[in-house]
């Protein structure tokens, strides 16, 4: 997540990334619209997720493609932006493409649902307080919904860190294999 390297996405992958127009309520209770880019394999999941978010009136600060932040995960998080596709490496392992890099991960309200490792909180102004609007927690309807759809929630990770904003789903192996040769070239393997 942090110090990840943004890369130039190969066309074979970009051909499978779609833009979804979504509606949501902001923190003032006003209806807003945004665009989220995801892999077409999770299109239905994300459309249903935003229907649930809208129905619950779960507040979202903004939903913009990462390109509006010059592909900077840190800038997007600092803006409290909900996003998905960003062709980049895994922060802890620059030899692997992140789930975001394939468009099968989504981060929701980073300020309310930060990444926490010891004393490190990202974004740095992020605060995790389950009583704050826009915060995800164990047994939250959104967390339950995403897990039922096969997503892993970063709030459940038993690592030296948690990532409350993050949900990821595995890319089907046959699709991942389709990309592998060109991905290896991008990673210079």
Q: Whole-model pTM?
A: 0.93
Q: Quick one: average pLDDT of 83-112?
A: 91
Q: Quick one: average pLDDT of 153-165?
A: 93
The candidate with the shortest Cα–Cα distance to 183, out of 7, 17, 37, 16, is 7
What six digits make up the tokens of 166? 């993050």
Question: In Å, how far are 2, 120, 132, 155 from 124, measured between CA atoms?
Answer: 12, 8, 17, 18
Per-residue model confidence as pLDDT tens digits over 81-96: 999 999 988 877 888 8
Q: List residues bridging with 32 in a β-sheet.
A: 24
Instruction: Give the 3-state secondary structure of residue 69.
Output: helix
pLDDT of residue 189: 54
The candidate with the shortest Cα–Cα distance to 73, out of 43, 113, 107, is 107
Residue 1 predicted with pLDDT over 80: no
Of 104-108, 145-149, 173-177, least confident by mean pLDDT is 173-177
Strand 120-122 versus strand 115-117 pairing type: antiparallel
Distance CA 43, CA 58 (A): 20
- The mean pLDDT value of the chain amounts to 92
DSSP structural state of residue 160: S
């Amino acid at each position: 997540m942090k110090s990840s390297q943004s890369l130039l996405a190969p066309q074979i992958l970009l051909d499978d990334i779609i833009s979804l127009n979504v509606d949501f309520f902001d923190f003032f209770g006003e209806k807003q619209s945004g665009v989220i880019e995801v892999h077409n394999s999770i299109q239905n999941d994300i459309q249903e997720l935003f229907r649930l978010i809208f129905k619950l009136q779960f507040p979202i600060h903004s939903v913009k493609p990462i390109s509006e932040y010059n592909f900077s995960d840190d800038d997007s998080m600092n803006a409290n932006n909900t996003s998905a596709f960003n062709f980049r490496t895994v922060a802890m392992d620059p030899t692997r493409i992140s789930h975001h890099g394939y468009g099968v991960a989504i981060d929701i309200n980073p300020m309310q649902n930060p990444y926490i490792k010891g004393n490190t909180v990202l974004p740095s102004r992020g605060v995790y307080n389950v009583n704050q609007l826009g915060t995800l927690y164990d047994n939250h309807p959104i967390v339950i919904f995403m897990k039922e759809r096969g997503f892993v929630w970063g709030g459940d990770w038993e690592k030296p860190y948690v990532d409350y904003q993050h949900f990821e789903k595995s890319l089907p192996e046959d699709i991942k294999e389709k990309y592998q040769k060109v991905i290896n070239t991008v990673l210079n393997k």
